[in-house]
A and B are shown apart, each in its own frame.
Chain A
Amino acid sequence: MFRVILYTQWKWTRLALLPGVIIAFSLPVLSVQRAGELGYAAWVLQSVGGWAVWFPALAAALGLLMAVTAWREDHRGGHVYALSLPIERWRYALFRFAAGAVLLAAPIVALWVGSLVATAAAPIPPTLRAYPNTLALRFGLAALVAYGVFFAISAGSARTAAFVLGGVAALIAFDVLLQAAGAELSVSREVWAWLTRTPGPMTVFTGRWMLIDV
């Protein structure tokens, strides 16, 4: 059963997954390409740091892509096919989730290999160290967190998605009203801080995403 679910998900995502794999491999390579020219540790750090934002962004994008494609075909058919199959809903959702997670391994491995290649090829100043395994692990965790969140949202109906988006919009609108009233409190900032504060669920997306660091 899992085999055929994995196959369908592979078929639906492969065209979008392939560029994701290429980008995941290229990002670490690109992030250190000028390290040899710059020489000084501070400049190398500044150059590598310029690319840091793209790692969590790619993880979030891949998570979103896998989550949306996991459910797209079932949404299109009103879930009639899935509901007519002799499988419990929770098990079906679990298999779909697991299939997406398995496919996410491809860009994660690509980023790891890219990181290993990049750090092997780039001259690293003696005061700095390369962290290919840590970066790949972090990227993998971030991709899975993003995938989990988006999977949960897209597994629901359009109404669920509307509730989530409506909640975010209401939060922003409330903040605008608070600011208009002269209040210093920002609810959305507080919520974001709570989500990203250690050990918040989104902490993995924050901090330094550096392939080469001190």
Chain B
Amino acid sequence: MIDFAPNEEQTAIRDLAHQIAVEQFRKHARAAEEAGDMPAEVRRVLAETGLLTPFPEEYGGSGTQDAVTHALIMEELAWGDGGLALHVFGSILAPLALLLAGQESDKLAFLTLCAEEESAVGWSEPAAGLDVRQMGSALRTYDDGWRLDITKRGVIHGHTKGIKLALVRLETSSGNEGPRLVFLPPDDTECVIEVTAEEEPLGLRAAPRARWRLRDGAGGGAIVLGLPISRDLPDEGKPGTLRFIALANVLLGSLAVGTARAALDYAADYAQNRIQFGKPISSFQAIAFMAAEMAMEVDAARLLIWRAAHAWDTGEDALRLAERARMQAIKTAQRVTTDAVQILGGAGFLQDHPVELWMRDAAALAALG
């Protein structure tokens, strides 16, 4: 049954996320950008809400969410601050990956660790960006072992000492078997990832990011999530990985929608209070029509995200929908944040207002891939 209204539970959790966005993210956005990390107070409040641990309680989490709810939460958080929202996004990626693609043993072994220490998933690549079909990183299996090549960029929390996962394509004797998540043990001495911090990115600075590089790694204990020991057993790793990628696209797209909505709300509010020629500038059609177009684009982007999230929740193949939605949302965020700066005029160019930050954030989102 077609419905465009969130249910009670979704509304409650969205309101909670909005409250955190207002009371924590908005308040600490500039400080977080300056520090290049999430302030301790914000982290403490977030941890209390359980939003950082969206996995079952039996593994030390605070319960799972459906994709639509994930989208609602992420939009609100990003409305508060994109950088801090990306920090959260980076923190929940590995738990979601383990949950969706991992076997029971993986979940038991690693999920609790995710609740204790920051984790990271390498996704974007220098050449392929976020397009997993074009990934260069690969795990190649041979009769006598395997070889691992990884080149990642924009890895949120990439410097962590905790759980590290990377998206790679699996190459076996039967060829390219598609994307898989590979677990990189932190104490493996033969398979050490070279981590380089990405210094002073254009935007979203509150989420520290790094580049990963591993050439011809071998030996040790890299684990492909969900890959059965025997060929005769069902391979849950691949469908799980694809579902993980789809959900990650939904989340990133929601982050873009939240950023765009923040800019729209701020610019609309500013336009009503900024008086020129004796009238609020919102009464001039040149400004009002820009705002109307921004509102159209934000609504369109959000509905595409919801549609993809709903497909994910009903078990449909949501990957393509989610990728398209993410791309539209990021384009929308760039356009809307740039127009917001324009509506504020000279004031928009100053750091007195957050729109210059959001314009950089949207560009940094696009730069992720």
Q: Do A and B come from one complex?
A: no
B→A interface (CB under 8 Å)? none
